[in-house]
Structure 1
Amino acid sequence: MIDAATIHQCADPGLRPAIVETFIRAVGAPDPLAVTVRTGSRVILVTPPKTPDDAMELVRHYVGQAMVRVGVTQYPAGLGITDLSELKPDLVDTCANIRMGTALFGKVYRIVTKWYGAQVDEAFGDAIDAWKTGYFDGKYVFDEPDPGNLPARKAASDAGDKPADGDAARPASRPDVGTQQDKEPGDPNKAGIRIDLTGIGVSK
């Protein structure tokens, strides 16, 4: 687990440290050299890299052929890359990976929260799902524009006094957080997700 000092130093300042810690706990890897390769619902077994050079060689081999996630935040390695020469060793640097990963997750969280219209528990959980699959509401979420500031959180007292308004903040349907292939039984991206929201300020 990444220590709090590293999180404070490296994480995107737009996310509270407690949210960053929960995000890394839910999706991250303890090894900054960790490389995960998937095609659809299948995990490709690779030899764990022992050096940054080994990790980058592995990334270059699979980017463009499979979904490659790298480092502490399991950052999508091919994002925004048009040529393999653009892949940088920052991917396997702990601090740089946390900085890039938390900035990108912050955008994903804002996209999902905007869909719900308010900061609710489901938004955080669906943002984690979207990070794992790469998709939200049928779209490749990492390429979507950042909607900007989060909608205001609904106060518990307001929700109690005005049930209609509270219900309006929660759409009647749930968003599509993956492609059809992602939702197949046994999908490793979706299996065994357990998210503890305690302490991040999402739920009171």
Structure 2
Amino acid sequence: MLDAALIEKCADPSLTPAIVEHFVAVAGSDDPLAITVKSGGQLVLVPKPQSPEEALDIMRQYVGKAIVRIGITQYPAGVGIVDIGQLDAGLVDPCGNLKRGTALFAKVARIVTKWYGNPTSKEVMPQMFEDAVHAWRTGEFEGTKVFQSDDPGGATFLRGKPLPPEPKDDEPTEREAVTPIEDDHLPTTDENKAGSAEMRIDLSRIGGQR
């Protein structure tokens, strides 16, 4: 179970603490150095890193050649970088990994929320959460590559605190928040963690090449 102080300090504020805890429980790991490497849909056996430096070495060896997930959120290590030199120790730091992972998951949740038409009914919340977790594991949702796509902004069904609005000339300056999902509406699941599920993501350009 994640420490409440770690969630308060490091998790993206647009997610409720209950959602953050449940997200890590079903899609992440309790080991900050946990690393999963897949190539062609097959798990690649790599030595268990004993230090952040060893974890970085493994990431640098495989990012750009395989799908690499790292840390307590099983963050997709190749996303958002153009060179392996941009991989840093923040990916294996519990706070840094939680900050990046929950921020990216919140974007995925907003993509899912928009696709559903921004519903407010609690009855659809468990399915939407499961869809967001599936998108996190696979990197796709309804044909959209969620990690590379732009953040649609707006409300998310996982809303914890309001996000800064992005007003346009013909839009109001504040958005209506969706009622956040409560603990008793979280889906129960025995699904495997992200490390054992197949992930299909487009790694960002490595060395300037796509």
- TM-score grouping bracket, smaller chain normalisation: 0.7 to 0.9
Give SS of 1:43's match.
strand
Alignment-derived partner of residue 132 in structure 1:
137
Map 1:8-87; keep pairs closer than 5 Å: 8-87=8-87
Higher helix share: 1
How big is the shift at 1:188? 4.1
Shift in Å, 1:136: 1.1
- Output the amino acid matched with 2:95: C
CA RMSD between the two structures: 1.8
CA contact (8 A) 1:41 1:188 kept: no
Check conservation: 1:41, 1:189, Cα contact below 8 A: no
Tell me the CA shift for residue 33 of structure 1: 0.7
Deviation per residue, 1:117-174 (Å, 9 max, x gap) = 1252221101000000111112211011111122679xxxxxxxxxxxxxxxxxxxxx
Aligned in 2, Cα 1:112/1:40: closer, same or farther, shift over 3 Å?
farther
User: 1:138 & 1:31 partners in 2: Cα distance?
Assistant: 31
Higher relative contact order (CA 8 A, sep 6+): 2
**Number of matched pairs:** 157
The answer to whether the Cα contact below 8 Å between 2:111 and 2:151 also exists between their aligned partners in 1 is yes
**TM-score w.r.t. length of structure 2:** 0.71
TM alignment of 1:177-188, pairs within 5 A: 188=196
Residue identity opposite 1:69 in structure 2:
R
Structure 1 residues 67-110: Cα deviation after superposition (integer angstroms, max 9, x where no partner):
10000100010111111111111000000100000000000011
Q: Distance in 2 between matches of 1:130 and 1:146?
A: 14
Asked whether 1:189 is paired with 2:197, we answer: yes
User: Within 2, Cα distance between the matches of 1:40 and 1:113?
Assistant: 30
Give the secondary-structure state (helix, strand or coil) at the position aligned to 2:14.
coil
Does structure 1 retain, via aligned residues, the 8 Å contact 2:28–2:71?
Answer: yes
SS of equivalent to 2:90: helix
Partner of 2:155: 150
Aligned-partner residue type, residue 37 of structure 2: V
| CA–CA distance in structure 2, aligned partners of residues 105 and 40 of structure 1 | 24
